[in-house]
Amino acid sequence: MKHYRIAVIPGDGIGKEVVPVALDVLQHTAEVFGDVTFNFTEFPWGCDFYQKYGMMMEEDGIEQLDKFDAILLGAVGDPRLVPDHISLWGLLIKIRRSMDQSLNIRPAKYFEGLASPLTAPKEFDIMVVRENSEGEYSEVGGRIHRGADEVAIQNAVFTRKATERAMRYGFQLASQRKGKLTSATKSNGIVHSMPFWDSVFDEVREEFPEIKANQNHIDALAAFFVSKPQEFDVIVASNLFGDILTDIGGAIMGSIGIAPAANLNITGEHPSMFEPVHGSAPDIYGKGIANPIGQIWTAKMMLDHLGEVNMGASLLQAIEETTAAGVKTSDIGGQASTKEVGKEINKRIKVLS
Ligand code: NAI
Ligand code: MG
């Protein structure tokens, strides 16, 4: 029997609706498989907590989280209560950075029964490895003067360590999948960091001669995500390029409510954090209609990371069978509630032979 201690942060808005459903599915999956138990510890951090205590998480929050095997997070943000830059940097980004969650892994996959806007959706199954610690999202730079003379400088930071780490992880992932890797570049326009990115790509690909590797400029790649997504397997991208590509990934799947993500600490020194791509959706919060698939698929990524790949595979299959059966929330063209989708997924969890 294996025991996992999971820190759970439902956060704000629909995070509070989809996280309980995902926990229920995880609990049920553990019972069906019978060789694993989960111990969930919930933390009430988020914008309500900020209203009461003036901070997004407890002072020693990071130390508390450090004791767990993994962190499952819903969504953070309630712009009516707390400005977004305070809520996101005070909780989500604080955890990502303090726990050295250096890679952000986001799949995009075609499911039967999903309302993909592509007129002829071909079966696509892509994994984007997004560098999560530096790149274009850096705090280096500043602003000087005001008015007509104003100048803003924002520096992108690319280190050999982080670039190699992302590339190597991507190649390893490709070797466990379809054996294809695409590097997202823009070395025709960005003349320092992207040629560096390309040279690290060329070095690391030497270590993986069996992988079919190529590179595309990000603008072309964005178009290919729409015109021929079925041709990709693993994509390695910088922080900004990966962020944009994975939103397109969510869109071609049919709804942002489906897309999952993992923030990985690849050394194992600190726990990794699993969270859907979507936010707290204040426009639908409280109606019980949020799509729980993004959160449940996120839980599947957590299972894979913990080494419970059979449970993870069963979960994904149950999700696919549920959408194929037409049990869907309104964002993907159905009428089911958040809880109904969770119950239907539970019914389809089984030990795969
Ligand atoms: P959002 O992802 O919350 O919502 C965008 C649109 O997608 C809305 O129309 C919403 O109803 C819909 N949507 C999102 N998730 C859905 C689901 N599971 N089922 C059905 N429909 C869904 O993005 P928005 O509105 O820009 O941000 C709202 C708040 O969330 C802000 O405070 C923002 O900063 C925060 N946010 C937090 C993120 C995180 O915690 N990782 C990521 C993105 C936004
Ligand atoms: Mg984004």
Kindly state whether residue 109 falls inside one of the protein's structural domains. no
265/248 same-domain check: no
Ligand nearest the Cα atom of residue 278 = 1
**d(CA 71, ligand 1 centre) in Å:** 20
Strands 151-154 and 141-144: antiparallel
124/248 same-domain check: yes
**One-character DSSP codes across 283-314:** TTTTSS----HHHHHHHHHHHHHHT-HHHHHH
What's residue 90's pLDDT? 95
**d(CA 222, ligand 2 centre) in Å:** 14
Instruction: Give the position, in ligand 1's atom list, of the atom nearest the Cα of 14.
Output: 18
Kindly state whether residue 89 falls inside one of the protein's structural domains. yes
What's residue 127's pLDDT? 97
- Which of these, 331, 281, 275, 329, lies nearest to 305 by C-alpha position? 275
Which residue from 278, 298, 323, 341 has its CB within 8 A of the most atoms of ligand 1, so it is best to mutate?
Answer: 278
What's residue 77's pLDDT? 96
**d(CA 34, ligand 1 centre) in Å:** 35
CB of residue 256 inside a 6 A radius of ligand 1: yes
Q: What is the 3-state secondary structure of 181-244?
A: EEEEECCCCCCCHHHHHHHHHHHHHHCCCCCEEEEEEHHHHHHHHHHCHHHCCEEEECHHHHHH
Residue bearing the CA closest to ligand 1, atom 6: 281
CB of residue 283 inside a 6 A radius of ligand 1: yes
81/196 same-domain check: no
**d(CA 350, ligand 1 centre) in Å:** 31
Identify whether the C-beta of residue 107 lies closer than 8 Å to the C-beta of residue 277: no
95/124 same-domain check: no
**One-character DSSP codes across 154-171:** E--B--HHHHHHHHHHHH
CB of residue 306 inside a 6 A radius of ligand 1: no
Chosen domain end from 231, 253, 275? 253
What's residue 353's pLDDT? 78
Q: What is the 3-state secondary structure of 60-73?
A: CHHHHHCCCCEEEE
Total number of domains in the chain: 2
**d(CA 277, ligand 2 centre) in Å:** 7
90/175 same-domain check: no
What's residue 29's pLDDT? 97
Residue spans of the chain under pLDDT 50: none
**Can you give the CATH number for the domain in which 307 is found?**
3.40.718.10
Residue bearing the CA closest to ligand 1, atom 16: 257
CB of residue 289 inside a 6 A radius of ligand 1: no
Chosen domain end from 253, 288, 318? 253
Chosen domain end from 203, 230, 253? 253
ipTM score for this prediction: 0.98
246/271 same-domain check: no
User: What domain range is 203 assigned to?
Assistant: 116-253
Identify whether the C-beta of residue 129 lies closer than 8 Å to the C-beta of residue 234: yes
- Which of these, 253, 261, 260, 222, lies nearest to 331 by C-alpha position? 253
Residue bearing the CA closest to ligand 1, atom 12: 281
16/34 same-domain check: yes
Identify whether the C-beta of residue 90 lies closer than 8 Å to the C-beta of residue 56: yes
